[in-house]
Amino acid sequence: MKANWDNIDAQITMQKESLANFFVHYLKFFGGKDRYSASELDVYNALAYTIRDHIIEKWLATKVLYNKSHSKRIYYLSMEYLLGRLFSNNIINLGADKEFREGLKKLGVDWEDYTPWERESALGNGGLGRLAACFLDSMATLNLPAIGYGLRYEYGIFRQDICQGYQVEEPDEWLKFDNIWEMKRIEHTVPVHFGGEVETYHIDGVEKFNWCPSYTVLGIPYDMPVVGYGNNIVNTLRLWSAKVSEEFDLQDFNQGNYIDAVSEKVEGETLTKVLYPDDRTESGRELRFRQQYFFVCCSIQDIMRKFLKESSDFRDFPKKAVIQLNDTHPSISIAELMRILVDEKHLPWDVAWDITRKSFGYTNHTILPEALEKWPVEFFQRHLPRHLQIIYKLNQHFLQEVSVQNPGDNDILRRMSLVEEYPQKKIRMAHLAIIGSTSVNGVSEIHSEILKEQVMPDFYNSFPHKFNNKTNGITPRRWLLQANPSLAKLITEKIGKEWITDLSQLKKLEKYADDKDFRKRFDKIKLENKKKLAKLIEIETGVVVEDDAIFDVQIKRIHEYKRQLMNILHVIHLYCELRDHKNFKDAPQRVFLFAGKAAPGYYMAKMIIKLILNVAKVINNDELIKDKIKVVFIPNYKVSLAETIIPATDISEQISTAGKEASGTGNMKFALNGALTIGTLDGANIEIMNEVGKENIFTFGLDIDEIKAKREGNYEPYQLYSENPNIKKVIDLIQSNFFSLHEPGIFEPICNSLLTQDQYFVFADFNAYMECHEKILQEYKNQKQWTKKAILNVARMGKFSSDRTINEYAADIWKVSPVKPKKGK
């Protein structure tokens, strides 16, 4: 019998009248629960499934819309996505929050009570992964036909526990319960080959290559919906999970090789077990290399499959597809596409290269040398022998061109080669990404300049047209509408709701900076947010803080270049001042709040956490200072924690050594929520300053040129220590074991590193930092002026919407326009 698709396709419209029925259906018939047996988790599940139905309707319609449009597709390849919780976000983006609340009223269920039951998706390390999540939100909201590709790690970023002041890593079992937001798409499973050898053969005198791999792993896709805001669009995030193919196992089983077969299976399935938590510290592990290829191979096959539905002429590929590489992590894609086009589709090399180069864009996110990926040639030999040949051939052709352009200059060949010869033979993935892409972009103005002028000057000279800047942004849906509903409501009341999809509208708030009543309401919202945060601090750390304290916050990965160390040294300085001068007066309480994870193998970062915690213990319990300073380290930093902390913050610490933070995006989230920034002239801080005005931000410290001069001169931190009594006092106090009575000497490595090297110029910037904080404290006393500045910060953050960023990618790099449903449909 032929199915009647007209009837099957008829949409179930989710009216508020029917929502309760759906909910009850899921709770009873899917969950098998009633009033006696339903737990809060069961209620959450039933709510989430109800919302998911609503999403699926739009998801299916979006696919039809895109297919009919025959538009070029955007493929965003990222090894990381820090999505955070999706339940509230989906409800808000669907525009269903009111219906949902009202529809469930008669059952006495308020969906907002159940949000904590969702396990957070944390498949990323920090800024890079969160940026990818903001980009997905913007691409969907802007009607862009985009698919995100990633890996479905069984364990996301580790959970951070604190044990006697030390970070302890625990596995993040985010898939332990049902993941309602994913759908397994077994029919799109793909094989991924590894190892083996390459055979050469000839057809009509042309040399051909046949890769005979030694083992195969399967990639199974899981799709997650990405709900656009208020536009009925639902895009897809496709995450790959590794599984070993059963036929393959059987061969070995039959030969009696049971143990080998099973261990190979386990080995294959470890590929997507865990996210690498290394985040810019050197790691270079073989499993990570294989993980990258697994990711790339699955994604490119899927992209090819989609392309072949549209055309069989590969010359059309760049017209139908654009692949954006989120850092070099997926850059083996370039060799993989070449391999498919040349070996499998039998295109001539030059044609294949032309297609490949036109199809990729590469975003660089860091210039820290230890984070620029280079993979040992032996990894390629072992796992991807054919890709190595391809890279060698690309290199040969490329260096030929370079030598034609630069006759007699052997040094430039060495510098630009895809292959680093010493001390170990390695492939430079950034070089591969640059030559294989049409566009190379940095993530803030200053970072893009550094990239051109200092990191890749030879490449910039050869391909100036490729280099461009795309300043990062954040999604206002999650970071204002959802995280700070009271402020969002106040804003909407004054200027309408257009700001949600056009953040430049916030400019209209400027006039309210002088409106007494508005300022009062703005202050009240901040205070309410602070109360919430104070409660959370007490629950998480046991430290009691005052609701109306000054909240001074640094939340981000722990890294020496981000200089949490400078912050805590300054806190110690303030503490000494208070003890020495007992100058309490009626100064408000200052809460210095830290949160962030350290890479498990990054000793210094872990010791910085330990120092913060030890200092916190001493200061928080010292009655002499009458609670004027509190130091708090909230364990296990994550997206949901940021959503509570940011709206309550007064002072946002963005204090990296100039030139080191590519952009930063936390800085944008704080300013959008009315915190004032204390920051160095680094990354996007500079652009924030240009937008909000110098008088509404607190900048300090050496700029990149001054840092460069110091680095090239002979910087002597020990001299600064001996000449600057403030620095000396603080370091001497640490060295006297004042903060480590029971573990004497544990902070010696930190002090030593500062006194002998101070790689990140903490001492050089210390005075300026201290003076800047003094200025802030003075200004905070004038509450009216402070609030005015905070409002102006919010009003002038329009530029930092990820919608602006994505519009620029779409127009300048991807050349893709929004796909809108035809009117009347």
Which residues are at the interface with ligand B1N (CB under 6 A)? 125, 127-128, 131, 276, 278-280, 365-366, 371, 443, 472, 661-665, 683
Taking the complex as a whole, the smallest distance from the CB of residue 471 to ligand B1N amounts, in Å, to: 10
Distance CA 693, CA 795 (A): 11
Shortest Å distance, C-beta 245 to ligand B1N: 29
Distance between CA atoms of 8 and 50, rounded to whole angstroms? 19
Catalytic one of 280, 556, 789, 796 = 556
* Per-residue tokens: 477: 């849906």
DSSP string for 434-475? HHT-SEEEESSHHHHHHIIIIISHHHHHH-GGGEEE----B-
Q: Which residues pair with 219 in a beta bridge?
A: 190, 242
User: Is 669 one of the catalytic residues?
Assistant: yes
Helix ranges (H only) for 162-277 are 246-254, 258-269
Judge whether 426 counts as a catalytic residue. no
Q: Are strands 197-203 and 206-212 parallel, antiparallel or unpaired?
A: antiparallel
Is 565 buried (19+), middle (13-18) or exposed (0-12) by CB count in 10 A? buried
Tokens standing for residue 745: 């000497």
Kind of pairing between the strands at 360-363 and 166-170: unpaired
- Closest contact distance (angstroms) between CB of 490 and ligand B1N is 29
State the residue for tokens 């536009």. Answer: 231
Q: Which of 141, 236, 649, 665 is catalytic?
A: 665
Give the phi and the psi of residue 633 in degrees, each rounded to 5: -115, 110
Q: What is the CA radius of gyration of the chain?
A: 28
Nearest to ligand B1N of 280, 669 (CB atom): 280
Task: Tell me, yes or no, if 159 is annotated catalytic.
Answer: no
- Minimum distance, C-beta of residue 35 to ligand B1N, in the bound complex (Å): 47
Select from 754, 771, 660, 663 the least CA-distant residue to 707.
660
> Smallest distance, Å, CB 120 to ligand B1N?
18
Smaller CB separation from ligand B1N, 596 or 664: 664
CB of 713 to ligand B1N, least distance (A): 26
Q: Give me the sign of the Cα torsion angle 314, 237, 94, 132.
A: negative
Write down the catalytic residue from 58, 365, 431, 628: 365
Nearer to ligand B1N, 302 or 560 (CB): 560
CA proximity to 756, closest of 720, 730, 702: 720
Query: Catalytic pick from 477, 669, 788, 796?
Result: 669
Are the beta carbons of 331 and 78 closer than 8 angstroms? Answer: no
Residue 557 known to be catalytic: yes
Nearer to ligand B1N, 281 or 462 (CB): 281
Alpha helices in 635-747 (DSSP H): 639-645, 666-672, 685-692, 704-712, 717-723, 725-735
Integer Cα distance of 166 and 556 in angstroms: 17
Quote the CA–CA distance of 445 and 623 in Å, as a whole number.
47
Q: In this complex, which beta carbon is closest to ligand B1N, that of residue 47 or of residue 434?
A: 434
Which tokens is 106 given?
Answer: 């008669």
**Nearer Cβ to ligand B1N (565/819):** 565
Q: Which helix (H) or strand (E) holds 808?
A: helix 802-808
Residue 678 DSSP SS3: strand
Centre a 10 Å sphere on the Cβ of residue 711 and count the other Cβ atoms it contains: 13
In the complex, least distance from residue 151 CB atom to ligand B1N, rounded to whole angstroms: 12
Give the shortest CB-808-to-ligand B1N separation in angstroms: 14
E strands, 556-628, where?
590-595
How far is Cα 773 from Cα 3, in angstroms, rounded to an integer? Answer: 71
Closest C-alpha to 513, from 799, 797, 800, 793? 793
Instruction: Give φ, ψ of 45 to 5 degrees.
Output: -60, -45
Choice between 443 and 483, CB closer to ligand B1N: 443
- Given 33, 562, 630, 773, the catalytic residue: 562
| Residue with smaller CB distance to ligand B1N, 482 or 805 | 805
Q: Which is nearer to ligand B1N, 47 or 655 (CB)?
A: 655
Q: Smaller CB distance to ligand B1N: residue 125 or 657?
A: 125
Kindly tell me which of 125 and 529 has the beta carbon lying closer to ligand B1N.
Answer: 125
Q: What secondary structure letter does DSSP report for 740?
A: -
Shortest distance, position 79 Cβ to ligand B1N, whole Å:
7
For 272-321, give the DSSP string. Answer: GTB----TTS----HHHHHHHHHHHHHHHHHHHHHHHHH-S-GGGHHHHE
Which residue's beta carbon is nearest to the bound ligand B1N? 127
Catalytic, 365? Answer yes
Beta carbon of residue 665, minimum distance to ligand B1N (angstroms, whole number)? 5
Spatial separation of the C-alpha atoms in residues 353 and 318, rounded to whole Å? 12
Q: How far is the CB of 275 from ligand B1N (least distance, A)?
A: 9
Provide the annotated active-site residues.
365, 556-557, 562, 665, 669
